[in-house]
Amino acid sequence: MEQLGIQEKEGSNYILLNLSGTINSYTFSEFQKKAYEYIKKANLVLDMGNVLDIDSSGLGVILGVFNESEETGNKLYIMHPSLAVAEALESTGFLESFNRIYSVTEVD
């Protein structure tokens, strides 16, 4: 069965979730809970370089958290997305809406 690893790190003006594995209907619930909790507190950085696959459940979480960020005034950042993540985000038509970064030093 697929697994999703989530490691958390707090920076001066952000919370980083380092994600690895697969984000799908079986694994998204913990990711969803943490992402919604943290975007209310600070800028949220999703390091998605080690995400092997993502389905509509995972995309739904990202889009929902993005909408939440618009309401809270905090920003959602996607950090070096894997090819699978980039292709999935591009398929939504919202790829250019996301703040894409390559390092947490780019968080403002």
The pLDDT tens digits for 9-30 are: 999 999 999 999 999 999 999 9
Rounded-to-integer distance, Cα 107 and Cα 11, Å: 10
pTM, two decimals, is 0.95
Q: What is the mean pLDDT of the chain?
A: 96
Give Cα separations from 105 to 12, 43, 79 (angstroms): 10, 13, 11
30-58 pLDDT tens trace: 999 999 999 999 999 999 999 999 999 99
CATH superfamily of 10-89: STAS domain (3.30.750.24)
Question: What does the pLDDT read at residue 67?
Answer: 96
